[in-house]
Amino acid sequence: MADCCIFAGQGAQVPGMGKDFAESDSMLMDLFDKANGVLGFDLKKICFEGPAEELTKSNVCQPAIFVTSYAAFLAFQKRSSVSFAAAAGLSLGEWGALCAAGVLDFDSTLKVLEARGRFMQEACEAAPSGMIAIVGASPDQLSELCAKTGCIVANINSSAQQVLSGSKDEIAAAATVAKELGIKRALPLATAGAFHSKFMQPAREKLAPVLDGITFCAPKIPVLSNVTGKPHDSDPSAIKALMLEQVTGTTNWAADVEAAKALGCTRFVEFGPGKVLSGLIKKIDAALTTVNVSDLASLDATLAALG
């Protein structure tokens, strides 16, 4: 039985996250203080106290979820002898997985995610766009929905759930056309814009020189790529290229889970706020074991469950 560590994506943020970890361990409090120094603003205060509107901004949200997730990861490592056979994450969570696997250090990951979040927020504000979750569509229905509306598939979360990106008008049309096609559910999402689509091309272009200035190393354990659904290559330049492509490309979480299974992983430990990835994994394969570490109580429960 092998274990895979997984890291939460954008949308999981909640005021108060990370606070009990930091208050229980000076090393973890130092992690949040260090983040403040790297970023030049009080991320710790926003994580611990909110307000929610501030925490939702992409340039705040992305580093905030990463620091909270990484604090959870370190808290787990302090109390557990579990060694992970693979790492994965959804969208920004893939950066947490890369950091956990030693591809880049904590400071560098923070700098990347602040810039990534800021550039994505700017792209959202430049062109009104959005996302819509589609539940229970057949492959033919999904193809027809995209063909009729101009939307593209941004996330493949499971065979039963995909997320589409498009302009505001395309997303509105998708909600209507989904009903006409008899698709079970179409739910517009409260995102700042159309992530993982052509609308993020300006963000991708601005992020490229930032990544050029960051040192990447070969991963110590396999890290699954959202873009390919396979483990990243050991070549750091190839990892950089895929992480740039991830900004505009489809994230295939379902393929990542299947790739982790192929590596022998049957247990998944989710780090960070919420249980979104655990829920998606259960929809992909109900036989897989999922646990999450988002605060001290869930850490205790996870350690007990893993024995």
Extents of the domains making up the chain: 2-125+197-306, 129-188
Residues 98-116 as b or e (16 or more Cβ within 10 Å = b): bbbbebbebebbbbbbbbb
Residue 58: pLDDT band with limits 50, 70, 90? confident
Query: ∠ CA(221), CA(271), CA(73), 5° rounding?
Result: 65
Considering the domain delimited by 2-125+197-306, tell me its CATH architecture: 3-Layer(aba) Sandwich (3.40)
User: Which one is catalytic: 58, 91, 197, 278?
Assistant: 91
Tokens found for residue 14? 């909640």
CATH topology of domain 129-188: Alpha-Beta Plaits (3.30.70)
Give residue-wise pLDDT tens across range 106-138.
Answer: 999 999 999 999 999 999 999 999 999 999 999
Find the radius of gyration of the CA atoms of the chain.
18
End-to-end CA distance of the chain: 13
Give residue-wise pLDDT tens across range 21-50.
Answer: 999 999 999 999 999 999 999 999 999 999
| Mean pLDDT value of segment 48-59 | 91
Residue 283 pLDDT exceeds 90: yes
Q: Fold identical between 2-125+197-306 and 129-188? A: no
What per-residue confidence (pLDDT) applies to 190? Answer: 80
225 is catalytic: no
Residue 11: pLDDT band with limits 50, 70, 90? confident
Find all residues with CB under 8 Å of 244, minimum gap 6, and list them.
Answer: 204, 207, 208, 211
User: Which one is catalytic: 196, 197, 225, 278?
Assistant: 196
Find all residues with CB under 8 Å of 277, minimum gap 6, and list them.
Answer: 6, 8, 9, 89, 90, 93, 253, 268, 270, 290
Average pLDDT for the chain: 96
197 is catalytic: no
